[in-house]
Homo-oligomer: A and B are copies of this chain.
Amino acid sequence: MKQIFHEIKIKTKGQGLYDFTEHTLGWLKTQKINDGILNINILHTSASLVIQENADSDVLHDLKNFFDKLAPMDNNLYKHTTEGKDDMPAHIKTALTNNQLTLSIKNKQLKLGTWQGLYLFEHRLKEHTRILSHHFIGD
């Protein structure tokens, strides 16, 4: 059994969901491993990871909208306001979704449903470069 470490960097341009499925799959195809478990961690607390539907982009719009309403960018609601009105809502949205995904790989393919994609969920308003740590353990 082998272990491989890798990092993928995603540039984000404001709030929203960014599909990184192809980044991960493209990297997997170049590795000398077929089956294993892939652990992806986002090394930030103001952006998160979700698996969501990749068919209708309206789903992504509605998701972003739902979380914006649930954790509004309103400094009156929070004590932590020094990093901008979007920062504390970003931490809350991260707590409500995921910092990490643990995925099953068989024959170099992600075991995902037909309509599932891997998304980076950016919660900050400005541009960021987000690091997704990949750790593969398998054969």
Contact = CB atoms under 8 A, between A and B. Distances in A.
Interface of A: 1, 3, 5, 35-37, 39, 41-46, 50-53, 56, 58-59, 61-63, 66, 70-71, 77-80, 82, 88, 91-92, 94-104, 106, 111-116, 131, 133, 135, 137-139
Given A37-B135, A45-B52, 4 more contacts: A37-B137, A58-B79, A100-B101, A137-B137
Given A92-B62, A97-B95, A113 B43 contact: yes
Contacts of A97: 95-96
Nearest to A52: B45
A109 B1 CA distance: 20
A41 B79 contact: no
B102 A78 contact: no
How many copies of the polypeptide does the oligomer hold? 3
Contact of A111 (B79, B91, B96, B135): B135
Contacts of A52: 45, 91, 94-95
